[in-house]
């Protein structure tokens, strides 16, 4: 399995499942969530309305509509406060919940944005190693996925995930 780090807009990258850094309402928001809903079309919001929200660290799956994927996996990341509110555990839970759903649905190529490091202010230098470590621990030597791809929206984010992957 390959862990790939690319620079770009996650709504433009073909995958089996695209992960959305959502919020607990699952009713859309800013950042990557807004971009995913805009690119998928209004049917995505209509399906999300039927889901009854989602807890932080958990994940729910929908169809991907006009996105170049079969599924969107929505996960509300933790809002960073002071690091003492289980933020690190909850971020790891997000990655685990998404990977579990992706595996259950037979997705071999999954794209992730940098969950929580935008509007939710999780420090990038802490988030990137948690993301990489959680993916490696989940997959081990098992043949579950072909490619887990971080689609980073800026160079600073891409660099942080590259550094985490090298360590």
Segment lying near ligand ADP (by CB under 6 A), choices 45-53, 58-66, 97-105, 146-154? 146-154
Q: Interaction with ligand ADP in 19-48: which residues (CB under 6 A)?
A: 21, 31-33, 35
Binding marks (x or -) toward ligand ADP, 97..136, rule CB under 6 A? ----------------xxxxxxxx----------------
Contact flag: residue 5 with ligand ADP (CB under 6 A): no
Distance of CA 65 to CAs 20, 103, 138, Å? 14, 20, 28
Q: Where in the sequence numbering do the catalytic residues fall?
A: 33
Residue that has been written with the tokens 């006009």 in this structure: 66
Chain-centre distance for alpha carbon 29 = 15
What's the token pair of residue 48? 């999300």
Beta carbon of residue 1, minimum distance to ligand ADP (angstroms, whole number): 21
Contact flag: residue 75 with ligand ADP (CB under 6 A): no
Please classify residue 143 by burial: count the beta carbons closer than 10 Å to its beta carbon, then call 0-12 exposed, 13-18 middle and 19+ buried: exposed
């Amino acid at each position: 399995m390959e862990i790939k780090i690319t620079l770009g807009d996650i709504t433009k990258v073909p995958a089996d499942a695209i992960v959305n850094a959502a919020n607990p309402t699952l009713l859309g928001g800013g950042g990557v969530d807004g971009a995913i809903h805009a690119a998928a079309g209004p049917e995505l919001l209509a399906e999300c309305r039927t889901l009854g929200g989602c807890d932080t660290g958990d994940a729910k799956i929908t169809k991907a509509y006009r996105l170049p994927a079969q599924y969107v996996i929505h996960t509300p990341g933790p809002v960073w406060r002071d690091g003492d509110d289980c933020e690190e555990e909850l971020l790891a839970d997000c990655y685990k919940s998404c990977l579990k759903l992706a595996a259950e649905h037979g997705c071999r190529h999954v794209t992730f944005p940098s969950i929580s490091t935008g509007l939710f202010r999780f420090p990038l230098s802490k988030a990137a190693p948690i993301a990489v470590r959680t993916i490696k621990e989940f997959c081990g030597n098992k043949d579950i996925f072909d490619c887990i791809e971080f689609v980073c929206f800026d160079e600073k984010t891409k660099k942080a995930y590259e550094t985490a992957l090298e360590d």
